Homo-oligomer: A and B are copies of this chain.
Amino acid sequence: MSIEKPRKSEIARNRILEAARRIFADDGYEHATIRAIAAEASINPSMVIRYYGSKEGLFAAVAKMDLKVASLAGVPVAQLGEALVGHALDRWDDPKDGAALAAMMRASISNEAARERIVAQFSEQVAGLFATMGPAAVQAAPFIATQMLGLAMARYIWRVPSIAALPKDLVVKQIGKAVQRYLDDAAEQQRKIL
């Protein structure tokens, strides 16, 4: 009971944000209209502008998320591959995080400003994570990134039937193995250098 005074329309704000998350995720940034978001939130389009400043401001509010990579801190190196893939699928299968990820993914492809911002944001978080795992992980990171990004695109954005239909545990096992091998290969190569 301290700084929660000026709130009554917080409900409307959240309704707008939820609608925006869904529509940005499903339709992409350019296809999503403020009118459609306002309609889904049962409010006037002008209120969306008043609360979030602009369409870009609204998207920025939706795109605020981190990859929660901290939870991968204590994983043994030998299980890192499956852990990485499992964690990524958990993010994508979570309704809120998944929608935000899809919205960001789509926007980063259709909008140049969003692309630069999101690529930088992801690169930083991923680089930070891999830096804690030693030089071998840093070396393997770009290759692992291509595998993880491709999995996300094929399964959740393109929804390629033969990939989207695969059971989660099979994906974790198979692609986790591939990721693990990128790590192991890099580790061995590092050992040779010494």
Contacts of A13 in B (CB 8 A): none
Whether a CB of chain B sits under 8 angstroms from the CB of A157 is yes
- CB <8 Å contact, B150 and A148: yes
- Tell me whether chain A's interface is mostly helix, strand or loop, or mixed: helix
Interface size on A, residues (CB 8 A): 38
Interface readout for A138-156 with B: 1 if CB under 8 Å, 0 if not? 0001110111111101110
Cβ-closest chain B residue relative to A149: B150
Contacts of A185 in B (CB 8 A): 174, 177
- CB <8 Å contact, B148 and A160: no
- CB <8 Å contact, A146 and B147: yes
Contacts of A66 in B (CB 8 A): none
- CB <8 Å contact, A150 and B146: yes
Given contacts A148-B150, A175-B143, contact A158 B110 (CB under 8 A): no
Q: List 17 A-B contacts (CB under 8 A).
A: A30-B110, A106-B110, A109-B158, A110-B110, A123-B161, A141-B162, A142-B154, A142-B162, A142-B166, A145-B162, A146-B147, A146-B163, A146-B175, A149-B154, A174-B182, A177-B185, A181-B181
